[in-house]
Amino acid sequence: MGRTRSRWSLLAIHPAQGLVLVFALTIVLGAGLLLLPAAGVPGAETTVLTALFTATGAVSGGLAIVGTGSHWSAFGEAVVLTLIQVGGFGIMALASLLALLVAGRLRLRAQLTTQAEMGSPGSGDIRRVLLGVAGTTLVVESVTAALLAVRFLVHYDLSAGNAVYHGVFYGISSFNNAGFALRDDNLVRYAHDPWIVLPIAAACVIGSLGFPVLLELRRHRRARRGGGLPRRWSLHTRLTLATSGLLLVAGTVMTCGLEWGNPATFGAMGGADKVMNGFFLAASARTAGFNSVDTGAMEPATLLGVCVLMFIGGGSAGTAGGIKVTTFAVLAAAILAEVRGRTDADVLGRRLAESTLRQALTVALLGVALVMSGTVLLLAVSEVSAESALFEAVSAFGTVGLSTGITADLPAAGQLVVIALMFVGRIGPITLASALALRPRDRRYTLPEERPIIG
């Protein structure tokens, strides 16, 4: 009996390992479908690397090496769109379920603490989690698709069917923060059209907030409509909304300030269009990867600022990548507490647990290590500049999809590096680290304390 139990414990899959396995299998299946002759337009040559890169980019919401509208047929575009939807829905659902499964293995007090900190529902509400994710996804994508379809039909003289298809494609791609477009120049053609740019930006921002935040906002809205008194927003929701808003404002100001007179980007635009495209870039850089101007023509200072936004990313358990805005906010609170000489770090009237600080530091440093390793590898296998290599590595890790134009020109080894960064960036460094550990190990002793010199 003991041997049987031991054997089954070795074969059991850790929830985090299951998350990694599901996404890996989805990418392999998608690449296989894209290798079918029917997936490409006549005359298009699809290699295994092209199919694998596209499938990884679609599932993770990252980069691409071929144009979606110029390389893939209607069947191929349908496969890409399905991978985008599966990747976006899957990361929200599986991340939420992973939180529930992990919380369910803790003691009752620790479980309640975890749920309070994360704003997640109870461990018995798995069905409600899945229905909530599906409902939210359907509503946001449908509204965005309807707005865009009307604009494509009225202003761009597309047929009704083509306008609806464009609206659905961009609705799904924007909410899931994929950044895939039907034109090779992405959204540059629509840079002066607020009826295209703003709905896409709004869908990107909503998808980047994360399902726990969207679910809590929906509960509060229903409580207000029913005449009840909603509970106070959780720390996670307040922190996500506040930090996201701050980054949007700061990113817009930075982008407009640095690109205002650049003739290759914002220079020829009117004032209103400059502000709109600055906001769009600030929203897209943290999450989606759409571009309404030529990214490669931006000022070096802008590219560095965009790297910061891409590295931070969006909210937890959402469709965005990066280290997440809550990680950034927690680290900022810890730095502020240390500068002020306080023993505890607090934010928005709440004290942060030491385990939260350690987790935030781990995620951030793993992210830095991955980006730096990817940059070094790209420089080693290609002849691109350090600036372009860093931008490409951060974009891949943050699953953003922006590029200075070097992605398709990278050698096979460089493209494999980008694929690895997109995959790891999608499932998250902390999730991958958890997947490698079959079970936690408790230390039965403590070592003597000693303080090294810091700084």
Instruction: Please state whether 438 falls in left (phi above 0), alpha (psi between -120 and 50) or beta.
Output: alpha
Percent of residues, the chain, with pLDDT higher than 90: 56
* Residue 114, pLDDT score: 36
Residue 444 in domain: no
Lowest-confidence region among 270-279, 292-301, 417-426, 438-447: 438-447
In angstroms, the CA 53 to CA 66 distance is 9
The pLDDT value recorded for residue 310 is 95
Rounded mean pLDDT of 25-49?
93
Residue 237 in this model has a pLDDT that exceeds 70: yes
Strand partners, 72: 40
Question: What's the pLDDT at 108?
Answer: 41
As for how many domains the chain has, the answer is 1
User: What is the Cα–Cα distance from 231 to 349, expressed in whole angstroms?
Assistant: 16
Q: What is the pTM of this model?
A: 0.87
Q: Is residue 132 part of a domain?
A: yes
**pLDDT score, position 134:** 81
**Cα end-to-end span (Å), the chain:** 55
Q: How many residues does the chain have?
A: 455
Cβ density class 302-339: b for 16+ within 10 Å, e for less: bbbbbbbbbbbbbbbbbbbbbbbbbbbbbbebbeebee
Mean pLDDT of 141-146: 96
Burial class (CB in 10 A: 0-12, 13-18, 19+), 95: buried
Query: Does 49 fall in a domain?
Result: yes
Binned at pLDDT 50, 70 and 90, residue 106 comes out as very low
**Running DSSP on this structure, what letter comes out for residue 351?**
E
Once rounded to an integer, what is the mean pLDDT over residues 442-454? 79
In a domain, residue 175? The reply is: yes
Is residue 176 packed enough to be buried (19+ CB in 10 Å), middle (13-18) or exposed (0-12)? buried
**b/e map of 374-413 (b: 16 or more CB within 10 Å)?**
bbebbbebbebeeebbbbbbbbbbbbbbbbbebbeebeee
* Residue 455 placed within a domain: no
Question: 350 - beta bridge partners?
Answer: 347
- Residues near 58 by beta carbon (within 8 Å), at least 6 away in sequence: 30, 80, 83, 84, 87, 178, 180
Query: Is the residue at 399 inside a domain?
Result: yes
Alpha helix (H) residue ranges in 72-125: 74-104, 108-118
Model pLDDT, residue 123? 45
The answer as to whether 412 is a domain residue is: yes
pLDDT digits (tens, 9 = 90+) for 59-98: 988 889 999 988 999 999 999 999 999 888 776 666 555 5
Judged by DSSP in three states, 346 sits in strand
pLDDT at 94: 61
Measured distance CA(214)–CA(237) in Å, rounded? 9
Q: What is the pLDDT of residue 269?
A: 94
Worst-scoring range by mean pLDDT, 137-146, 180-189, 425-434?
425-434
Domain that holds residue 419: 15-435
pLDDT at 86 (0 to 100): 87
The reply to whether 74 falls in a domain is yes
Cα separation, 321 vs 406, in Å, equals 21
CB-based contact 240:326 (threshold 8 Å): yes
Which range (230-234, 277-281, 313-317) has the least confidence? Answer: 230-234
Lowest mean pLDDT among 8-22, 168-182, 288-302, 416-430: 8-22
Phi, psi for residue 441 in degrees, rounded to 5: -120, 120
Q: Quick one: pLDDT band at residue 13, thresholds 50, 70, 90?
A: low
The pLDDT assigned to 224 comes to: 75
pLDDT in tens, 268-312: 999 999 999 999 999 999 878 899 999 999 999 999 999 999 999
Tokens of residue 206, six digits: 């909503």
Distance of CA 283 to the CA centre of its chain: 12
